[in-house]
A and B are shown apart, each in its own frame.
Chain A
């Protein structure tokens, strides 16, 4: 099923920026913990693509997992990387 059918309504319930010092170089890399909830309207590869697309709103996904599910949403915990200014 194509990603476009997901009717995405991923909503942030929290985004926790852990301390991110800069290295002194321009455009430093930072890492952030992200917690989001995403509508569960499909599964499998389409759900993976859907989650990764949602996480990209906050940075480049480095590691993520679905850590809870209810009938309509999945909770995703992740660490993303950002280059330069954080997006908080």
Chain B
């Protein structure tokens, strides 16, 4: 196998697993600064809504590809390709369980995204049943299920039939998620109690219809707390978390099962950046046997302890995202990371087996 690389767009994938209490990215879009930094040293950044969504805050990155987690896993497995687009027509699904005033807040957020950002949002559908979001806190991660997933899929189908090609979902989440968990989250500690259920909703839509999808929870506003962590503050400043979702979906790549001249495939991914303690996801395992360089970031701690040693994975271990940015820049420039150290060992002869 040749170790030579040809000149082509340098592509980086960045993952911060959802619902595992990542110290950076486990809260309200607080991995977005990392994504912005990485986007300056790579030609294409592929990442997921949890990284780029900051409720009413977002930052359009022209070289970033907003790919929902299920699609990201299929892409990494080589089953799907990413097809860049100029603009998606978005359809909005609203959970029937959302109260009137909260529904109006979300519709006004969608109208604002049309009038102020110029997004193409076709129409909205209210589900024919309450979706029935149920939260589950497992040993280290949060998960969730729906009582009526069929109702969600019927609503999506109606929007796709009128020409929508990306789906934003707003589901009513329980306000009382446990005072300790909610308090910790607002303080930038612990595991996001909603994240796991959010991911299940968007995964289901992407799996069933192969279109971009992202989710925003509908919640009643919380009372003012002057001690809120900056990492969670983005979710304290408005009535909805929908604007970032609409902005991301507006230019999210489409999924394809066949390659085209413009599509991006897993074999194009040069670097994968992921927290060092959460390497047990599908995308990491898929790319671990390929030429993709996996950069494991130690100081983005999580509630898990699934590291490279435990799974016998070959990774480049770095202490921080600052170091990861340097490692990506070096790879893109064609500089071996091993020579960026004070001590360089002498070249050794290759021993014959």
Chain A positions near chain B (C-beta within 8 angstroms): 16, 18-21, 23, 25, 28-33, 35, 40, 43-45, 47-48, 52, 62-69, 74-75, 77, 79, 81
Known A21-B148, A48-B77, A48-B282: A33·B204 in contact at CB below 8 Å: no
Contacts of A52 in B (CB 8 A): 282
Q: Which of A21, A30, A64, A79 counts the most chain B CB atoms within 10 A?
A: A79
Q: Choose, from B93-101, B135-143, B230-238, B322-330, the stretch at the interface.
A: B135-143
Contacts of B311 in A (CB 8 A): 40, 43, 47, 66, 69, 74
Known A23-B150, A65-B17, A68-B306: A48·B286 in contact at CB below 8 Å: yes
Per the bound structure, the CA–CA distance linking A25 and B149 in Å amounts to 12
Chain B positions near chain A (C-beta within 8 angstroms): 17, 20, 69-70, 77, 129, 132, 134, 136, 138-141, 143-151, 153, 196, 199-200, 203-204, 207, 278, 280-282, 285-286, 288-289, 304-306, 310-313
Min C-beta distance of B159 to chain A, whole Å: 18
Task: List, sorted by A's number, 8 A–B pairs whose CB atoms are closer than 8 Å.
Answer: A19-B147, A29-B150, A29-B153, A30-B149, A63-B196, A64-B282, A65-B17, A75-B139
Contacts of B140 in A (CB 8 A): 67-68
Contact B305 A68 (CB under 8 A): yes
Contact A69 B147 (CB under 8 A): no
Chain A residue with the shortest CB-CB distance to B136? A33
Q: Across the A-B interface, how many residue pairs have beta carbons closer than 8 Å? A: 112
Known A43-B288, A44-B289: A79·B281 in contact at CB below 8 Å: no
Q: Which of A20, A21, A68, A77 counts the most chain B CB atoms within 10 A?
A: A77
Give 15 new A-B contacts, CB below 8 A, not counting A62-B203, A63-B70, A63-B196.
A18-B136, A23-B129, A29-B149, A29-B150, A33-B143, A40-B311, A44-B313, A48-B285, A62-B200, A65-B278, A66-B306, A67-B141, A67-B304, A68-B305, A69-B305
Per the bound structure, the CA–CA distance linking A33 and B86 in Å amounts to 37
Contact A33 B289 (CB under 8 A): no
Per the bound structure, the CA–CA distance linking A20 and B136 in Å amounts to 14
Residue from the list B134, B196, B204 in contact with A18, Cβ < 8 A: B134
Residue from the list A29, A47, A63 in contact with B199, Cβ < 8 A: A63
Per the bound structure, the CA–CA distance linking A19 and B20 in Å amounts to 23
Contact B288 A62 (CB under 8 A): no
Q: Which of A40, A48, A74 counts the most chain B CB atoms within 10 A?
A: A48
Min C-beta distance of A11 to chain B, whole Å: 17
Contacts of B151 in A (CB 8 A): 23
Min C-beta distance of B165 to chain A, whole Å: 22
Per the bound structure, the CA–CA distance linking A6 and B286 in Å amounts to 17
Contact A67 B139 (CB under 8 A): yes
Residue from the list B138, B147, B153 in contact with A67, Cβ < 8 A: B138
Residue from the list B132, B141, B153, B204 in contact with A77, Cβ < 8 A: B141
Known A47-B285, A68-B304: A19·B150 in contact at CB below 8 Å: no
Min C-beta distance of B15 to chain A, whole Å: 11
Contact A79 B200 (CB under 8 A): yes
Min C-beta distance of A28 to chain B, whole Å: 5
Per the bound structure, the CA–CA distance linking A29 and B205 in Å amounts to 13
Contacts of B285 in A (CB 8 A): 43-45, 47-48
Per the bound structure, the CA–CA distance linking A62 and B199 in Å amounts to 10
Min C-beta distance of A59 to chain B, whole Å: 11
Contact A62 B207 (CB under 8 A): yes
Contact B129 A65 (CB under 8 A): no
Per the bound structure, the CA–CA distance linking A45 and B311 in Å amounts to 12
Contacts of B143 in A (CB 8 A): 33, 63, 77, 79
Contact A45 B289 (CB under 8 A): yes
Contact B289 A65 (CB under 8 A): no
**5 smallest beta-carbon distances between A and B, as pairs:** A66-B280, A48-B285, A69-B310, A23-B150, A31-B145
